[in-house]
Each structure stands twice: as C-alpha cells, then as structure tokens.
Homo-oligomer: A and B are copies of this chain.
Amino acid sequence: MVQIGLLGFGNVGEGVHEILVKNAVRIQERCGQPVRIKTALVRDLSKPRSSASQGISFTTNPDDILNDPDISIVVEVLGGENPAYSLISRALKFKKHVVTANKEVIAKHKETLFSLARDHQVCLSFEAAVGGGIPIIRSLKVGLAPNEIEGIYGILNGTTNFILSRIENDKQEFNVALAKAQELGFAEADPYMDVSGLDTAYKLVILAYVGFKVNITLDQVAYEGITSISRTDIESANQLGYTIKLLAIGRRDNAGNHVFKVHPTLILKSHPLASIQNELNAVFVRANGLGECLFSGPGAGPLPTGSAIVSDVIDTIFDFGCHSRRHVEPPAKSVVPLQSATTESQFFIRLTVADSVGVLETVTRLLGKHNISIANLIQQKNHKDTATILIITHHIVESEMRAGISELEKETCLKVDSVIRVGFSDSIE
C-alpha cells in the first residue's frame, strides 16, 4: 500500500481524497497496490470533518508526516508561499516524493526545489499548478518532448475568463460579473491575484520552464490584468469579429529571443481559443514537429485539481525504485526575454471623437506620423455630438504605438478610450 501525507485539507485536499476513494479500484489496478491518505496536516483539529474522511489521521504538526517512514508521497495543497515552500523543501530533504498544486511556490522557487529533488533522488510533480485538471505539464514534458516549442498561448485563469465571458454573453459590466464570480465561488473575496494577471503570470513562468526549458522570474513577465476592460471594449471587439481573452503568451523567435507576457488580447472568433468560455482553461501550443495543438478543460475546482494531483501520485508510484529522468527537471537556461516595448503587435484602439469634419483626418494623420497603419476602421455616430472610432492597426512595435497614442491624447477633439493588443502570430505577433 502507498500512503500519502496531505499538507492541507481544504477544498482541493478534499477533492484529492474524494478521487482516491471514489476511483479506488481503478487506481489500485493501475498502481498494482492501494493508495490512501494516512495523515493530513490541518490548522484546526476541532473543525468537523466529513464522515468520508474517517481513517485519515489529522494533525497540526507537520513532523507527523515528514518523520513518518510509512509515508512515501507528500501532497501539498496549502496554497500560498509559506509555510508551503519550507514544508516542501523539508519533505524533499526527508526523501519524500512531493506532489504540489502550488503555482506560486513552483514559480518562485523552482530552481532550488528541483535541485533538492535531484539531490535526494525523489520526484517533484506539479501538474495541478497550471490549467487545473488539463494534463498540460505532462504533455509538454513527455508527449511533446521531441519538439522545440515555438509558442505557448494560454487562457490560464478561470476567474478572469468567467468574468470576460459574463461581460460578453450577459452584457454585464465588470463589477457585476466579478460579484457573480465571487458568489459562485470562482473568485476570491480579494480578487487581486486573478484580475491583475498575477496568477496567470506565475503559471506562465512555470510553462516557460517546462515548455521552453528556460528559467525566468516573475519580474521578467510583463503582465496586465483585465480591470480596464469594459463592456464597451468587448462589444466593439465583437463588432470587428474578435473576442477578448486574458492571454499568457510565451514565444521564441527564429533568432532564439524569448517573449513572455500576459495581457488582455483581441482574438479572432474563428480561433479555437476564442471559444473557451466561462471558467474553462486552454493552452494552445505551437511546436516545430507536432504543429499546433490545443488542450482545454476545467482550470480549477476540487475534483479537476484532485484529478491532476492524483495523476501525479500515480505517475510517481510508476517510478518507485527507478529514479527515472522523467520527473527530474534538468537545470534550465537563464534568458533575458525581449522587453514588451520592443516587440510588434497589432492593436485595437477605441476613440471617442467630436462628431465634426476633419477629425478622422486628424486621427489618421497623427497615427501615420508614427508609422501606424490601419488594417480596419469603423466610425459610428453616438447619441450625443460625438462619434466612436474603432481601429485595428497593422503590426507595429509597441513603443512606436505608445508614442502615437501619446500624440492622440494631446488632441482636445478626441479621447483615447482603450488600447488593447490583438491576436497572435509567431513571427511578429
């Protein structure tokens, strides 16, 4: 029998337990032996537990797990940086295999932790840290192992995707959609981590490590959230044939330069990522052998996350007694990603202008001055004496775009409402 020590017994911990109990027969068949949770670390021993958790020994002392020779795998589902980081480190030093769902700890401490795992010849697995239940980490590590990865484009945060879907489909404003997400449990009381793009940025750091085999830090990811995205932006994008998603983008150009960034992005409605709705996650990968492929599924929730965690547990058990390279991350290269300002993109611009002769000419002239050429333009009259102009530009270096926008902002006859990046392509995005 394989016995697990669980660090944390919140929603995700309960999901792990539920999967292990519900699918015990299948898991035992696969592993050749039963798998059970022996001990769970909790904050409050007096909190009532469900009857299904009978047989688990609860403790407030992590040493009851780390020092227990019967426990071979430690599953960390505490979340947050501390004490998760120190407990994972200690578990590895105690030669326990570790499975974690903790994006923050992996993103911040990957080099130290993978080095510890190598030194102590144990597995450190983290499928659940990115994309919830979607087996994206395993697919990048093994299924796509023969490929050089050229691009990774992910919808990695269920909360923001839910909010954007609500705004688009139910014509709600941002704050209403956020409140609904909180009511349904898709968003935290403090939504900063999600809506700021920080959560997505952590996950991109991990995908960069696994996919591109490069070691970047959070401050090398330019990230923006969705708080500035209005219902009008999404409706305008729809008019032009696009939707708006919070996208994590990692890519490498032919010269070997990397770009890593997170920002709201206009995506053509015909692209597979455009159809990823509500709390779903998806990762679109471009690889030099396989080509383009898409993985999508539930990005969060106790059971999907529990499924990813238990798949790591099973995969760890497969490797008992045979220290395989499969679970050992070799040291990754450090790179200096390109600054976002130096990369090219198409842009969506939404302007409110005085509804008078010559304004459109002013706009095109000022943009032209900065070599910003227009791919698509709609001008439409508003109720009052104003008009709205929607523009999709051709590809332009971001710093030039900003200079052009600054110039527009000096004009009193118009107001720049929104500037949002558009779509993606590997060569010039």
Contact = CB atoms under 8 A, between A and B. Distances in A.
5 contacts: A23-B289, A29-B330, A127-B143, A142-B318, A294-B297
A272 interface: yes
Contacts of A318: 142, 324-326
Interface in A1-47: 19-20, 22-23, 26-27, 29-32
A319 interface: yes
A72 interface: no
Interface string A353-367: 000000000000000
Contacts of A272: 272, 275, 296
A264 interface: no
A288 interface: yes
Given A145-B311, A291-B301, 11 more contacts: A22-B289, A23-B147, A26-B145, A30-B145, A133-B291, A142-B315, A144-B307, A146-B307, A275-B275, A289-B306, A294-B297
Q: Which 7 A-B pairs have the closest CB atoms?
A: A322-B322, A135-B143, A293-B297, A146-B310, A289-B307, A133-B290, A290-B307
A22 B288 contact: yes
Contacts of A325: 30-32, 318
A292 interface: yes
A178 B105 CA distance: 53
A321 B324 CA distance: 9
Contacts of A321: 322
A250 interface: no
Interface string A258-295: 00000000000000100100000000000111111111
Contacts of A213: 26, 29
Contacts of A240: none
A144 B293 CA distance: 18
B144 A311 contact: yes
A421 interface: no
A182 B58 CA distance: 64
A82 B319 CA distance: 35
B307 A148 contact: no
A192 B323 CA distance: 47
A138 interface: yes
A55 B296 CA distance: 41
A298 interface: yes
Interface in A144-182: 144-148
Nearest to A24: B146
